[in-house]
Structure 1
Amino acid sequence: MKIGCPKEIKAQEFRVGLTPNAAREVVVHGHEVLVEAGAGAGSGFADADYLAAGARILATAAEVFAEADLIVKVKEPQAPERAMLREGQVLFTYLHLAPDPEQTEDLLTSGATCIAYETVTDASGGLPLLAPMSEVAGKLAPQVGAWTLQKANGGRGVLMGGVPGVGPAQVMVIGGGVVGTNAARVAAGMGADVTVLDRSLPRLRYLDDVFGGVFRTRYATAGATAELVVQADMVVGAVLIAGAAAPKLVTRAQLKDMKPGAAIVDVAIDQGGCFETSRATTHEDPIYEVDGIMHYCVANMPGAVARSSTIALGNATLPFLLALADKGWRKACDDDPHLLNGLNVYAGHLTNVPVGKALGMDVLSPSMALKQ
């Protein structure tokens, strides 16, 4: 099989879908790897590294898309990339379709088979291909939030850890999953006073058992959210419903009760965001103000630390990529129900139920897609 890796073209996206080490593994398995020239530069990987791994360098993305049987990327394909997809081709990348009807329609029209990293599951009910980037984004959230809080950026001018005689920043983390846990750990490590909200009592028990004394936990209700949001200097949105649009948990009306210059960091922005006032931004222009509250809503936060993110993502995706290449997508998904859960689009059909509900579209079950 020919595996193609184009250069990412989303604004300020420096990650790459395939590391040289991953390319070497794919070649060892008897497949051909096609990499667009310069694809790895943003992550510190030169074309020579890919050549040494046995890959072939092609000059343009168009050549990669034209030759490859399977395209491996990081971010959702942009409009020019979607136009290059073809019937029967396999796309393996993050998609985040629920808040993106335009992308969904283009993928359906292409006839390609699209497997989304963010809906692949594992035996414990986790999301193994989302987890590495969730860890990165969670650890980055307090860092970028602290920057947003600086007065020069429109923030309150509050130091995360305070100083003797001056209290620390009050940080509220909505969601106690992978993103929220990592955000809380880092924020607490910076000296902030942190509270994590979640609706899973088992998860709250776990957080208390493991991190008791490092940060506090609260059961997430509308009342608890309203109470804590007015006290917060920083609110981190870390809510995820796999494949679905993120719920709006803080309304615009609530912003007027927040501290002027408080910072919102919406890590759920890839799925539409969990604040009513959230809209996607880029690393080039990351923050904006609504009703005196500063919003940081960069949709590809891990791209800021591209090398670490690329290596972490490559470690997680490689076993699945090899299965797709060695067996073909049908056999690989038939053998692994967790990989099958990643199937979002097949031959003009939407195949993910939460995405279908979010977009009001009919869905063909993944198991039925395998039989077609």
Structure 2
Amino acid sequence: MQFTFATASKILFATGAARRIPELAGTLGSRPCLVTGGHPERAQWLIDGLTQTLREPLVVPVSGEPDTEGAAKAAEAAREAGCDVVIGLGGGSVMDTAKVVAALITNTDDIYEYLEVVGRGKPLDKRPVPLITAPTTSGTGSEVTANGVLLSREHGVKVSLRSTAMIADLAVVDPQLAASMPPQVTAATGMDALTQLLEAFVTRKGTPMTDALCREGLMRAATALPLAFEDGEDMSAREDMALAALLSGICLANAGLGAVHGFAAPIGGRSHAPHGAVCAALLPHVMEANLRALRERDPDSPSLHAYREVAVMLTADVACDAEDGAAWVRELCEDLSIPTLGELGVERGDFGLLADLAAKASSMRGNPVELTRDELIGILEKAW
């Protein structure tokens, strides 16, 4: 047995914990850069707190899909302003941008020098400035992941800048921050967390540590997600989903993902559909395709046993088989009113290209079985 495991230096999980961010930021730096969503006025409470405790922050709003050009410009502005601590308050796009900004403040080459797939994938030369992440959704787990996902508009694909040095120094997880999410955002982000936990559990790169965390997260998400969708003020469900999302980020950072996320990057690059909704639309069909391929080509794979364990955790039926897990996920997607790929704007004419791009995606390397091009296109057909 041999594996490595990395996560945030410190995780603070508590309702109300976000109010401590100014105080905690003061232990890491003196000139903050605050990355927020497209409406920074919603973070005025934090802007005021940082101004009173440290100095007025440089505020970087992120609207829509963050792209390579915007992240590079934000990093340059933060560098010129002398920012020595970065705070990301928002969803996955905001926190991913914050990670990239923190990295590029100290690593000053062109951003494409460091990007995967479309760039050189050059390792970071210098450690990023200290980073605090605080999620306002419960889905991406970006608060503890080692990469920042950006859209390369030039190439029409989402790509990562990746390094374990980019994992946050402090992740502040306050379930109260997600309480205002509307039902459809709750559904999409929650399905992203569920997908990440499931893919990290059945991957070929899992470890005993990630497996244990995936089990905890899957059981919580299976129960809590429908409850949070029905009643956003159910704080017990919100806490469970915040924890499930946090665990999903830890697990994907250490065990990788699979075909769902292999597809999600090129689909997101071309259709700009919400990432979580894309993952949800694909998940049951990827599960079914993987199970068929494993039974045909690798019937002794440990991933088959993992899929059956997933089914037991999701259905609470010890007599079920692996395929029952996929059926449960399909029913959950219906209950959560998850749109199809077609409804999300994916074009049938792009299926061949999307399959080719997905096959090259880094996430695909963790899929429990290598899928053929026809199998990949078949997934898109069923999800459409």
Q: TM-score, normalised by structure 1?
A: 0.32
Bigger relative contact order, structure 1 or 2 (CA pairs below 8 A, ≥6 apart): 1
Which has the larger strand fraction? 1
Which has the larger helix fraction? 2
Q: TM-score, normalised by structure 2?
A: 0.31
Q: Highest Rg: 1 or 2?
A: 1
